[in-house]
Each structure stands twice: as structure tokens, then as C-alpha cells.
Amino acid sequence: MKDKWLTIGIIATFGAFFLMIVSMMTLSRHSAKNKELLARAPSTPQQTVSTATADLSLYKTIVGDDGREMVEIPEGPFKMGSNNGDYDEAPEHQVYLATFYIDKYEVTQAEYDRFVKATKRGKPFVPVFDDDISKILKPELAAMGMSWSDAAAYCQWAGKRLPTEAEWEKAAKGEGNRQYPWGDTLTPMHANLDGEEDGYKYLAPPGKFEAGRSPYGLYDMAGNVAEWVHDTYDDKYYSKSPYRDPKGPEDGQNKVIRGGSWRESPNGARVSKRFQAKLWRTDATIGFRCAKGGP
């Protein structure tokens, strides 16, 4: 009887050992298969698209009479101004604009030169520059050195007009709240401002700062050249401006300039920052882009 139970025990032990070996072989085959599948699986790419440029395909573009690309800015409200900036940026207020188009890029010197030759208008003039003037006189660079009247004349020649201050700000910031056209964080990759960390000591060719585009895909709405707009300057205008399509006060001595330039600090590049100058002023820091009414 003892021998019988001994024999059964031995058989049971060998059976358990056999089952353990089979189980280990099965697990090994599954592990190898899993490793092979993992090796074949494509890696997940890093997401690098910024929120400022994610929906640019939604916005219609056209080509103006001067051959320059323009972006449609859709009808609707946006918040203009800032309660946290300079006194003339307040109060922050709602503005409703009709659909309009605005140049995707700042006007270049080559484009402005065609206008000068076609109209016999005077060439741009820079009265003061601390370096060799030839460094900023290149056809691919942003146009500068024209008065407000010259900029307005170019836009009229091209079948357009200067943007209003409200149109300019909406095109720069979109419908949300942000300090800069791309968001709230500023790096040398975003704009051509004071200093050479961004790769440019003075002017840059328009369109070089991909990371600095506005929500509508416009380039250089901060930095490079500050931009003339249509409006006459009034430091208290925001407290009395109309809700729909404001065009600035009728009377005043100075015109509004927006966007900051290659000589500006980060504070001067904010989308709500306002500058002013006599309409006859010409400077190496002031240029423009044009706009026109929508369909």
C-alpha cells in the first residue's frame, strides 16, 4: 500500500513539473510576440503645432490689386484694449467689426519702390540712423521711412486703404485675450525686437518669424516695423468709441502707430500697445500694411 501511494506521488510530481515547463514555454512565446509587435509599432510623434496657427486653413485668402496676399478677418466681436497696460489702452471694451481683409505681410521696399516709380511720389526718407544706411536699404526688407500720407497713398494706389486701429488689433490678437499675437510668452523666435538675439540687428524681411504669427496667420504684427493705421490718436478715445466699426476721432494732430518695431522692448510689442506720431514723420522704424472691406 505504501509503495502504491509512493508511485502516485511520484507521478503527480512529474505531472506538475511537466505542466510548469509547458506554461513557461507558452509565456516565453507570448513575450517574444509582444516584443516583436512593439518593435513594429510606429512611435508617437511630438506635437509641435502651436494653438496660434492650428486653424489657419479656416481663413480665406485673396490676392490684392498689387499682387499681395490678404487674409479675411471674419465679422464679429472682440475685446479691444487692456486694463493692465498704459492709461490710453483702457478701458478694455467690446468692439464689433464687419468682415475685412488685411495684408498677410508688411509691405516690402521692392513693393513700395514700384509704387514710387508708378506715381512719381518721393522716395522714403530716414532723417536719423546711427549706422550705415545701406544696411537697411534692401528690396527684400520691410518698407520704412514713409509718412502716414505716403502709406495711405500706397494703399489707395493698390485699391486698398490703411486698416483702422480696431481692425489692426483684431487681426493681431484674434477674439481672445493675449499679450502678443501668438500668446503670452515671448522668445527670440517670435519677433524682431530690440537686440540681436532674434537674428536681426535692424530690419528683417517680412515673414521670417513663423512662431510669431497671429491667430489669423499674419506675420510681424509685433516687431520689425511699427505700422501706420488709419486713426487719428486720442488718448481717451476708448471711453467713447462706438461699438461697431470704430474709425477713430475726426480731429487731432497725431496718427496712431501699432505693433512696435525692431527697436522696441517686449512691452512695446504687446497687441494693445498704442503709439502716436505726427502724420508727416518718417523713421527707420515705421512701415505699414494695407486693408480693404470684405465681400
Q: What CATH number did the domain enclosing 137 receive?
A: 3.90.1580.10
- Please check whether residue 31 lies inside any domain of the structure: no
Nearest partner of 274 among 239, 228, 243, 207, judged by Cα? 228
Put simply, whether the predicted model's pTM sits higher than 0.85 gets the answer no
Residue 29 lies in a domain: no
Is the residue at 169 inside a domain? yes
Rg (CA), the chain: 31
Contacts of 203 (CB under 8 A, 6+ apart): 136, 138, 141, 142, 144, 192, 224, 225, 262, 284
For the chain, the average pLDDT equals 86
CB atoms within 10 A of CB 119: 13
Residue 148 has pLDDT above 90, yes or no: yes
Domain-embedded: residue 259: yes
Q: Is residue 234 part of a domain?
A: yes
Q: What are phi and psi of 239, to 5 degrees?
A: -80, -10
Classify residue 29 by its DSSP letter: H
Q: How does residue 21 score in pLDDT terms, banded at 50, 70 and 90?
A: very low
Count how many domains the chain has: 1
The region of weakest confidence among 16-25, 125-134, 230-239 is 16-25
What pLDDT sits at residue 57?
A: 60
Beta strands in the chain (DSSP E): 61-63, 69-73, 76-80, 93-97, 100-103, 226-232, 254-258, 274-278, 286-287, 291-293
The DSSP symbol for 180 reads B
- 39 assigned to some structural domain: no
Its domain, for residue 232, covers 56-293
Name the percent of the chain lying above pLDDT 90.
77
